[in-house]
Amino acid sequence: MREGGLLSTRERVRENGTHLKKCGMILITALFGFVILAAAGQFGRTAQAVINLPAMVLLAVAANVDMQRNVIPDWVTLPGLAWALLASAFLGGPRLSDAVLGMALCGGVLLTLAIISRGSIGGGDVKLMAMIGALLGWRWGFGVLAVAQISAALLTLGLFLAGQKGRKDALPFGPFLAGFGLLAMFGKPMQ
């Protein structure tokens, strides 16, 4: 802090960013919890509940960890990916071929974007997208990716124009992927 209590623009952006991060985490936790509870009520005691609810919880964890640490760890994405493939093979999720294709195509597209962006998109985001592709299949997975990209871009632009984020300030992408993946799992009919 400068003398006289005046904050520089960079210090104000940093303080506002910390406040926004805390508010965002509370909002995301509440929204994810609401959607998961609504899904549990809608699915009831069905195969859809057994398949989707554990994956939905992992998506919520991924979003929260990414908001807190700006990283999505393997201990969230790799079990989720394994669960998606096992559910497809044995429990009646998307056909195993659709799950593998969704994992490869959705994860591959985001990996390509990560390489092009030179680190703006991390490996955790890529693995999370592969998990979502495996859970939903490639068609729904691409829909999640498109809506997440557009939403993240619009929020980033809004925060920049409002002076809440600087040009080089990062915005975690995992909550967008996880949030729209969660909504797609809630709304997608079982195959």
Query: Per residue in 130-177, pLDDT tens?
Result: 999 999 999 999 999 999 999 999 998 898 888 777 777 778 999 999
Q: Using alpha carbons, select from 156, 165, 155 the residue that is nearest to residue 12.
A: 165
Q: What are the residues whose beta carbons fall under 8 Å from the beta carbon of 160, sequence distance 6 or more? A: 166, 167
Interior angle at CA 143, CA 99 and CA 93, nearest 5: 30
**42-58 confidence digits (pLDDT tens):** 888 887 888 888 999 99
pLDDT at 6: 60
Residue 65, in any domain of the structure: yes
Residue 70, in any domain of the structure: yes
pLDDT at 1: 46
Residue 94 confidence class, pLDDT cut points 50, 70, 90: confident
CA distances from 175 to 4, 64, 78, 149, 181 (A): 38, 7, 17, 11, 9
Cα–Cα dist 91/47, whole Å: 7
DSSP code of residue 5: G
Residue 86, in any domain of the structure: yes
Is residue 122 within 8 Å of 106, Cβ to Cβ? no
- Domain tally for the chain? 1
Residue 166, in any domain of the structure: yes
Cα–Cα dist 103/173, whole Å: 18
Q: Which range of residues forms the domain containing residue 26?
A: 8-187
Please say if the pLDDT value at position 18 is more than 70.
Answer: no
Cα–Cα dist 39/185, whole Å: 9
Q: Which residue has the higher pLDDT, 5 or 69?
A: 69
**Sign of the CA dihedral 147, 123, 119, 170?**
positive
Residue 136, in any domain of the structure: yes
pLDDT at 143: 96
Is residue 168 within 8 Å of 71, Cβ to Cβ? no
Is residue 186 within 8 Å of 178, Cβ to Cβ? no
Residue 125, in any domain of the structure: yes
Residue 1, in any domain of the structure: no
The whole-model pTM stands at 0.83
How many other CB atoms sit within 10 Å of the CB of residue 75?
Answer: 11
For residue 24, which amino acid is it?
G
Residue 163, in any domain of the structure: yes
